[in-house]
Amino acid sequence: DVKVTQSSRYLVKRTGEKVFLECVQDMDHENMFWYRQDPGLGLRLIYFSYDVKMKEKGDIPEGYSVSREKKERFSLILESASTNQTSMYLCASSSGGYTGELFFGEGSRLTVL
Amino acid sequence: AQRVTQPEKLLSVFKGAPVELKCNYSYSGSPELFWYVQYSRQRLQLLLRHISRESIKGFTADLNKGETSFHLKKPFAQEEDSAMYYCALTGGGNKLTFGTGTQLKVEL
């Protein structure tokens, strides 16, 4: 059973703080993704990675960066958090072969004050 | 650019009534379409994909390329179907574009 684990379920940060969101998957998946989920806006792709040390911008990368030093771990970084980054962040992974099936974590709810 | 449109934010039906969740897409090539579901306090998960042409939990969805639609249907709604449903599209590979979601509420 695929498991995608996001280290923090709830975070409260102040404007300007640096924020790290960690995601680990245990199924040796090549692909990993970070989405943000907002009511009325659905899921929007921030960044994704097809391989270690590889990253590609999604649809809304501004204000975010990512790191993938190991295959199983994909981190989302907010260099200087702002209130408009208050959101639910979802990490997902998928196998290298094309299936279209993403396996999601439980989500990290970030509030920036 | 690829886009997925789900026109209804909320759909409320009575138990036993038919359900249709609408999804329209915009894509210049041959898309692959999916429905994902998120039940209360659970992870987002794949419900079905059009290439499989399968019925999952009584739900079906047919890709209509002429109307660029991929509506999700179920003949008789059950209380446990209450959830948030997302339509998603890819032009190939695993990068999915999601719609804005429809909250389905099945009332007794």
Residues of B in contact with A42 (CB under 8 A): 6, 86, 98-101
Give the range among A1-5, A25-29, B91-95 with minimum mean pLDDT.
B91-95
Give the range among A85-94, B48-57, B64-73, B79-88 with minimum mean pLDDT.
B48-57
Indicate the residue of A100, A106, A107 with minimum beta-carbon distance to B96: A100
Coil, strand or helix: which one is B52?
A: helix
pLDDT at B106 over 80: yes
Residue A2 pLDDT class (50, 70, 90 cuts): low
Report the chain B residue with the minimal C-alpha distance to residue A56: B95
The answer to whether B70 touches B5, Cβ cutoff 8 Å, is no
B8 and A CB contact within 8 Å: no
A61-64's contacts with Cβ under 8 Å and 24+ in sequence apart are: A64/A34
How many residues are listed for chain A in this entry?
113
**In angstroms, what separates the C-alpha of B8 from chain A's closest C-alpha?**
10
CB contact under 8 A, A40 and B100: yes
CA atoms within 13 A on the CB side of A68: 24
What is the mean predicted confidence (pLDDT) over A98-113?
A: 89
Q: Which amino acid, A94?
A: S
Tell me how far CA of residue A62 lies from CA of A9, A46, B74, B90, in angstroms: 23, 8, 39, 22
pLDDT digits (tens, 9 = 90+) for B27-68: 988 888 999 999 999 999 999 988 887 888 999 998 998 999
